[in-house]
Amino acid sequence: MDNRPIGVFDSGLGGLTVVKALSAAMPNEQIVYFGDTGRVPYGNRSRATIEQYARQDEAFLLSQNVKLIIAACGTVSSVAAHTGDHLPVPFFGVVQPAAAAAAKATKNGKIGVIGTAATIASGAYERELLNIDPTYSVISTDCPLFVPLVEEGWISPDDPITQLTARRYLQPVRNAGVDTLILGCTHYPLIAPILQQVMGEHVTLINAGQAAADACQVILEQKQLNTGQTQPGTHQYFVTDRPDSFLKIASLFLQGALNGTVQRVQVEQL
């Protein structure tokens, strides 16, 4: 048994969808969430900058005595997952769990991937999927407007702007006949109903955040790192910009009230 918290980081707020899934699956676990809200987004940064930010984010979570770190950021998971190779605690991102879930779900071997520009340009999901099965056909497209639309709160299934944007972005994967679509950014589950409408009910959507939470549960059990607490776990949230701005949007991602405290920190020197 290990009562240390699980560490989760993201470039902003999208990783809160991972926190939501973790809380549902393991309500007694403590969680420390770090959102680099002062430097968001990572998706249009250079590889060197993303690697630097990832190392600083990891260093901050280690300073909080976490027992495991999840890179909930699709961009870091795709471009800079190697920064976690030599950490003293288990580390993983969202790419491998989501790819494994997609491989399990597909029937026709045609898998779509949507994500930020950096995630798609990295080819990380395609490499992971083709490692599982070289016969897969992987169709990827970047969707840079989805993140600001979500953070503006334009997530209603009836929102005409988000609907129109989704139809435009998803046309290549629809035309390719995919039966499985990986939501390769943790913001995207908030517009999953719109994405499902556009793709059709026959297409399985893979929530990368949920897949990461499922993988975390397996790792904790395998390494005997589960908490021994019997009461609900406490959560701490850290951001690099204004906590009040974070609080305004956090409930959107958590789909409920934020459980825990929010503090502003600086990580540039880590």
Catalytic residues: 73, 185
Tokens representing 171 are: 């046309």
Q: Per this entry, what is the length of the chain?
A: 270
DSSP string, 12-33: SSTTHHHHHHHHHH-TTS-EEE
* Sequence letter at residue 141: T
The pairing of strands 6-10 and 235-239 is unpaired
The answer to whether the Cα torsion of 75, 79, 80, 82 is positive or negative is positive
* Beta carbons within 8 Å of 211's beta carbon, 6+ residues apart: 94, 97, 98, 100, 101
The answer to whether the Cα torsion of 216, 193, 44, 112 is positive or negative is positive
* Beta carbons within 8 Å of 242's beta carbon, 6+ residues apart: 37, 264
